[in-house]
Amino acid sequence: MKRNVFIGGAWFYANYSLRVGHLAALLPGDVIARYYITNGDNVIYVSGTDCHGTPITALEGDVKAIGRDLLLGV
């Protein structure tokens, strides 16, 4: 019987060069996901994200510009 398996992976801090600690965050979830896949189970492996700060601030400026254009009918 196929099982539905959800695995949430950790995300390492992106503010430093690559090191062994990054593998410690990513490898366990990947190994477990591959184990369940080889057993024929349905696996969803979701990783976290480090999307905050600058990308959000840049998007805020775009959203404000779009809102201003909509209000002015441009």
Structural domain count, the chain: 1
Whole-model pTM over 0.85: no
Helix (H) or strand (E) holding 7: strand 4-9
pLDDT digits (tens, 9 = 90+) for 32-52: 999 999 999 999 998 776 666
Domain range spanning residue 32? 4-72
pLDDT of the residue at 9: 83
pLDDT of the residue at 34: 95
Q: Is 67 helix (H, G, I), strand (E, B) or coil?
A: helix
**Domain of residue 19, CATH code:** 3.40.50.620
Residues near 41 by beta carbon (within 8 Å), at least 6 away in sequence: 2, 3, 4, 5
Q: Is 24 helix (H, G, I), strand (E, B) or coil?
A: helix
Is pLDDT above 80 for 60?
no
